[in-house]
Amino acid sequence: MIGRIIHIFGEPWTWKSHLGVSVVEHVEGDLEIFDFDNNLQAVLPKFSKHEKRIKVHNCPIPAVMGTDQFVPDPAKYQADQVWRRVATIYKKACDSPTTGSILLDTDTVFYQIARENRMLQVIAEGKEAGKNRTTLSTFEYGPINIWMKQVLDYAKTKGKTLILLSHARRVYGPDDEPTEDWESDGWGKTRAAADIDLQTLRPNSNSDVLLLCHKSTFHPKLPRVGLPCSWETVETLCQGKLPKKESK
């Protein structure tokens, strides 16, 4: 059985975590959550009747997000240890016959841990060569891209529904002014690797949250319309169909 990869990104407070956890109501087996953002306290009580099927792995954030230049302190952040721990638990979840779905909340932080693990390797290699390294060059991202691709593909080949939640960041125009659009913030190839790429958005403060489908390998010609924000919508999209109720 081949699994599927669902990527969901969006602004804060647009139901990303709630949507991700709701997979437990539709997919058989346990839901294993990797909680990197520590923001599930208000979400999990809503799924209390499924609490025996939900396993939460609390994962520490090893460093400040969003920096392109940094010098991790191994004694403080231990990104290499965090990465090994997370990778080990993740593989067990993929291999478990009782696990039906896996949620990374968020994939943004998961990628940050992988990147900082790579940075520690480069720092160590630099010290041996008498160099003080503080940034990754373009070609040094190669191992990270391979790791990330293997991680996503492994869950899919094991027949799991893998949900990747990502932070969002503003899209800036040519004059460096923020636009009204948002883009996924994290591993640059996540959206390409996903079977379905969704954006949660709230058109205005008084409207419901909607789903915008940017990509579906099951339905390559989806119209760009606002869809109901529910896992039923995701399941319908996975069947190559559109929900009956659409909101433009």
Tell me the pLDDT tens digit for each residue of 68-81.
444 545 445 566 77
Cα angle for residues 38, 43, 45 (degrees, 5° grid): 115
* % of the chain surpassing 90 pLDDT: 50
- Asked if the structure places residue 99 within a domain, the reply is yes
Within a domain: residue 208?
A: no
pLDDT level of residue 60 (50, 70, 90 thresholds):
low
In a domain, 207, yes or no: no
Domain limits at 232?
219-248
Strand locations in 70-128 (E): 99-105
**What average pLDDT does range 117-135 have in this prediction?**
84
Query: Same domain, yes or no, for 152 and 233?
Result: no
244 and 150 co-located in one domain: no
Residue at which a domain ends, from 162, 185, 208: 185
CATH code where residue 37 lies: 3.40.50
Alpha-carbon torsion (232, 233, 234, 235), positive or negative: positive
CB atoms near residue 39 (< 10 Å): 13
Examine residue 93 and state whether it is found in any structural domain, yes or no. yes
Same domain, yes or no: 113 and 165: yes
Q: At what angle do helices 79-95 and 142-157 cross, to 10 degrees?
A: 20
Positions of E strands within the chain: 4-10, 30-35, 54-58, 99-105, 161-172, 178-185, 196-201, 210-216, 227-228
Q: Tell me if the pTM is above 0.75.
A: yes
Whether 178 and 224 share a structural domain: no
Do 114 and 87 touch, CB atoms closer than 8 A? Answer: no
How many domains is the chain partitioned into structurally? 2
Last residue of a domain, one of 185, 204, 238: 185
Per-residue pLDDT tens for 20-32? 999 999 999 999 9
